[in-house]
Structure 1
Amino acid sequence: MSQDITELPTTPSTPAGTDNPGPDTMAADGGTPADKRGQIAWAVFEWARNPYVLLITIYVFSPYFSTTVVGDPVQGQAIWGYINGIAGAAIAILAPFLGAIADLGGTRKPWIAAFTAIMVPAMVLLWFALPDNGGIGVMGVALSIIVITIAYEFSAVFHNSMLPSIAPHSRIGFLSGLGLALGNLGGLLILIFMLVFFTLPGNVPWSFIPDVPILGIDQSLFQDSRIAGPVAGMWLAAFSLPLFLFTPDAARNTIGAWEAMRRGVARVVQTVTRLRHYRNVATYLGARMLYNDGKTAVLIFGGVYAAGVFGWGALDMLVYGIVLSVFAVLGGLFGGWLDDAFGSKVAIITSIGGTTVGLLLAVSITPTELFFQPYESAGPVWSLPFFQTVPEITYLAVVIIIAIFITAAYANSRTMLARIAPAKMMTEFFGLYALSGTATAFVAPILVGISTDLFDSQRAGFASILLLLVAGLVVMFFVHETRAERAEGDA
Structure 2
Amino acid sequence: MSDHVLPAPAAPGTGAPESVRRRTVLAWSLWDWGSASFNAVVTTFVFSVYITSAPFGPEEQVSRELGIALLVAGIVVALFAPVIGRLTDQAGRRKTWLAINTGIVVAATLLMVFVAPDEQFLIFGLVLLAIGNVAFEFASVSYNAMLGQIATNRNVGKISGIGWGMGYLGGIVLLALILVGFIFPEVGWFGVTSDGAWNVRIAMLLAAVWFAVFAIPVFFAVPEIPAAAHPEHTGRWFLRAYADVFRSIAGLWRDARQTLHFLIASAVFRDGLAGVFTFGGVIAARSFGFDNTTVILFAIAANVVAGLATIVVGFFEDHLGAKRVMVSSIVLMVICAMLVFALHDAGTWVFWVFGLMLCIFVGPVQSASRSFLARLIPAGREGEIFGLYATTGRAVSFLAPAGFTIAIAIGGETIFGIIGIGAVLLIGLLLLLPVRTTR
Q: 2:278 aligns with which of 300, 303, 309?
A: 300
Structure 1 residues 446-455 or 182-191, which shifts more?
446-455
For 1:112 and 1:75, the matched residues in 2 are separated by 35
The one-letter code sitting in structure 2 at the alignment partner of 1:194 is I
What TM-score does the superposition give when structure 1 sets the normalisation length? 0.68
Specify the SS of the correspondent of 1:154: helix
For residues 319-366 of structure 1, give each alpha carbon's deviation from its aligned partner in whole angstroms, at most 9, with x where no partner exists: 23321122113432675699689865554343223334444566x59x
2:330 equivalent in structure 1? 352
Instruction: Determine if the alignment matches structure 1 residue 196 to structure 2 residue 197.
Output: no
2:4 equivalent in structure 1? none
What TM-score does the superposition give when structure 2 sets the normalisation length? 0.74
The one-letter code sitting in structure 1 at the alignment partner of 2:119 is G
Contact 1:92 1:438 in 2 (8 A): yes
Specify the SS of the correspondent of 2:397: helix
Within 5 A, what are the aligned runs for 1:297-376? Answer: 297-303=275-281, 306=284, 310=289, 312-313=291-292, 315-332=293-310, 335=313, 347-359=325-337, 364=341, 371=344, 373=345
Percent identity between the aligned chains?
26
Query: How far has the Cα of 1:107 moved from its partner?
Result: 2.9
The structure-2 alpha-carbon separation of the partners of 1:445 and 1:144, relative to structure 1 and needing over 3 Å to count, comes to farther
Instruction: Determine if the alignment matches structure 1 residue 218 to structure 2 residue 193.
Output: yes
Query: How far has the Cα of 1:108 moved from its partner?
Result: 3.7
Instruction: Determine if the alignment matches structure 1 residue 155 to structure 2 residue 139.
Output: yes
For 1:226 and 1:306, the matched residues in 2 are separated by 27
2:369 equivalent in structure 1? 413
Structure 1 residues 248-257 or 231-240, which shifts more?
248-257
Structure 1 residues 69-78 or 265-274, which shifts more?
69-78
- The structure that is helix-richer by fraction is 2
Structure 2 regions of 5+ residues with no counterpart? Answer: 1-7
Within 5 A, what are the aligned runs for 1:75-224? Answer: 80-129=66-115, 134=119, 136-137=121-122, 139-162=123-146, 167=150, 173=156, 179-201=163-185, 212-219=187-194, 223-224=198-199
For residues 33-62 of structure 1, give each alpha carbon's deviation from its aligned partner in whole angstroms, at most 9, with x where no partner exists: x99877754443333322211112233333
The structure-2 alpha-carbon separation of the partners of 1:243 and 1:110, relative to structure 1 and needing over 3 Å to count, comes to same
Structure 1 residues 149-158 or 50-59, which shifts more?
50-59
For 1:450 and 1:75, the matched residues in 2 are separated by 23
1:395 equivalent in structure 2? 351
Contact 2:271 2:400 in 1 (8 A): no
The one-letter code sitting in structure 2 at the alignment partner of 1:10 is A
Query: How far has the Cα of 1:219 moved from its partner?
Result: 4.3
Contact 1:24 1:168 in 2 (8 A): no
1:47 equivalent in structure 2? 33
The structure-2 alpha-carbon separation of the partners of 1:298 and 1:121, relative to structure 1 and needing over 3 Å to count, comes to same
Query: How far has the Cα of 1:94 moved from its partner?
Result: 0.2
Query: How far has the Cα of 1:439 moved from its partner?
Result: 1.9
The one-letter code sitting in structure 1 at the alignment partner of 2:389 is S
The structure-2 alpha-carbon separation of the partners of 1:225 and 1:324, relative to structure 1 and needing over 3 Å to count, comes to farther
Contact 2:9 2:378 in 1 (8 A): no
Instruction: Determine if the alignment matches structure 1 residue 272 to structure 2 residue 249.
Output: yes
For residues 48-84 of structure 1, give each alpha carbon's deviation from its aligned partner in whole angstroms, at most 9, with x where no partner exists: 3222111122333334444556677777666554443
Within 5 A, what are the aligned runs for 1:423-442? Answer: 432=385, 435-442=388-395
Query: How far has the Cα of 1:443 moved from its partner?
Result: 3.2
Instruction: Determine if the alignment matches structure 1 residue 24 to structure 2 residue 16.
Output: yes
Query: How far has the Cα of 1:222 moved from its partner?
Result: 5.3
Structure 1 regions of 5+ residues with no counterpart? Answer: 1-6, 13-21, 26-33, 203-211, 376-389, 486-491
For residues 279-329 of structure 1, give each alpha carbon's deviation from its aligned partner in whole angstroms, at most 9, with x where no partner exists: 55544432222111221233334346656775744x445423321122113
Instruction: Determine if the alignment matches structure 1 residue 236 to structure 2 residue 211.
Output: yes
Contact 2:141 2:390 in 1 (8 A): no
For 1:234 and 1:195, the matched residues in 2 are separated by 17
The structure-2 alpha-carbon separation of the partners of 1:71 and 1:341, relative to structure 1 and needing over 3 Å to count, comes to farther
Which structure has the bigger radius of gyration?
A: 1
Specify the SS of the correspondent of 1:444: coil
What is the alpha-carbon root mean square deviation over aligned residues? 4.6
For 2:432 and 2:226, the matched residues in 1 are separated by 42
Specify the SS of the correspondent of 1:9: coil
For 1:429 and 1:108, the matched residues in 2 are separated by 10
Contact 1:58 1:301 in 2 (8 A): no
For residues 106-155 of structure 1, give each alpha carbon's deviation from its aligned partner in whole angstroms, at most 9, with x where no partner exists: 23444334323322232134345566x63522x33332221101101112
The structure-2 alpha-carbon separation of the partners of 1:303 and 1:136, relative to structure 1 and needing over 3 Å to count, comes to farther
The one-letter code sitting in structure 1 at the alignment partner of 2:76 is A
For 1:115 and 1:336, the matched residues in 2 are separated by 28
